[in-house]
């Protein structure tokens, strides 16, 4: 029982791991004994993040643009060339787009759906051999898809494609989880509320001011919150959790009704 939450020695891949929630998860994995690959589009930022994260364990950067099928395939190939087994895949890379309803462009749908939905499906598909090799009945391989509370409740923003994509992530998580459970691959999701990140940067001051009254727990998310949830979903403690998306929001969705 004392090792229920251990991820020591596991190999993890965290897309979009150079900043925000991805970096928070990557650090949590590293500090708890996992070897972690992180990806991002911007090479300079990726390498700087990997260097900083390497203070906590073995962190390996691989530049990748999951905004295209070719970029997703190239990243999968780079992982396959390095690792015969992958214990953990965190599909965290994401994109957003905001525009008034009357002006929302097709590009705002294509980009967001490619990164937020298609890349999750196809990267997981491409890495199935590595995940199958790592999983066992007692300790399955894990896939975590990062959704959002915007896929559950009204976002109160004009991010139409983003909220739709995150709702799709939640359903895709259910669907793939059932199909892969028998192959010793557990798929679950996390639907974060408001965390400080590049994506929420333009809202941070407003959110920090509103948090004490608008979020039941009276604060924004902290790195330990998402890292702890991800570690739980990747450890023996959650081996029988399959196809669910854990809402990590300090009570915001419950309050919305």
> Model-level pTM greater than 0.85?
yes
- 213 pLDDT band, cuts 50/70/90, is confident
- The two structure tokens encoding residue 204: 């941070």
pLDDT at 208: 67
Domain boundaries, the chain: 11-250
Q: ∠ CA 143-177-111 to the nearest 5 degrees?
A: 65
CATH class as words, domain 11-250: alpha beta
pLDDT at 37: 98
In the chain, the percentage of residues whose pLDDT exceeds 70 is 94
pLDDT at 1: 84
**Annotated catalytic residue, options 56, 160, 162, 232:** 162
* Three-class DSSP category at 246: strand
Q: What is the mean pLDDT of residues 83-106?
A: 97
- The two structure tokens encoding residue 184: 């010793």
Q: What is the mean pLDDT of residues 147-152?
A: 98
- The two structure tokens encoding residue 49: 């993040």
DSSP characters over 165-199: HHHHHHHHHHHHHHHHGGGTEEEEEEEE----STT
pLDDT at 257: 73
Q: What is the mean pLDDT of residues 101-105?
A: 98
In the beta sheet, which residues pair with residue 62? 39
The answer to whether residues 88 and 151 touch, using CB atoms and an 8 Å cutoff, is no
Residue 245 phi, psi (nearest 5): -115, 115
pLDDT at 106: 98
- pLDDT digit string (tens) for 150-193? 999 999 999 999 999 999 999 999 999 999 999 999 999 999 99
pLDDT at 204: 64
162 included as an active-site residue: yes
Residue 148 phi, psi (nearest 5): -170, 155
pLDDT at 214: 83
């Amino acid at each position: 029982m004392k090792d229920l939450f251990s991820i020591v020695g596991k190999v993890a891949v965290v897309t979009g791991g150079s900043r925000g929630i991805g970096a928070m998860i990557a650090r949590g994995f590293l500090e708890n004994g996992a070897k972690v690959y992180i990806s991002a589009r911007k090479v300079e930022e990726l390498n700087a993040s990997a260097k900083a994260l390497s203070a906590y364990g073995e962190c390996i950067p691989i530049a990748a643009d999951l905004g295209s099928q070719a970029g997703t395939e190239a990243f999968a190939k780079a992982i396959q060339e390095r690792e015969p087994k992958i214990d953990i895949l965190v599909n965290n890379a994401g994109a957003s787009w905001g525009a008034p309803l009357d002006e929302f462009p097709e590009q705002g749908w294509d980009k967001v759906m490619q990164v937020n939905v298609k890349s999750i499906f196809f990267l997981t598909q491409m890495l199935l051999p590595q995940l199958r090799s790592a999983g066992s009945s007692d300790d399955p391989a894990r896939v975590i898809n990062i959704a959002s509370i915007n896929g559950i409740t009204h976002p109160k923003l004009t991010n139409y494609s983003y909220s739709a994509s995150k709702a799709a992530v939640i359903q895709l998580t259910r669907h793939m989880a059932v199909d892969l459970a028998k192959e010793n691959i557990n798929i679950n999701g996390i639907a974060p509320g408001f965390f400080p990140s590049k994506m929420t940067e333009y809202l941070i001051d407003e959110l920090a001011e509103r948090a004490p009254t608008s979020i039941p727990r009276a604060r924004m998310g902290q790195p330990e919150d998402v890292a702890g949830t991800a570690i739980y979903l990747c450890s023996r403690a959650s081996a029988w959790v399959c196809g669910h998306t854990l809402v990590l929001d300090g009570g915001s969705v419950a309050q919305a009704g």
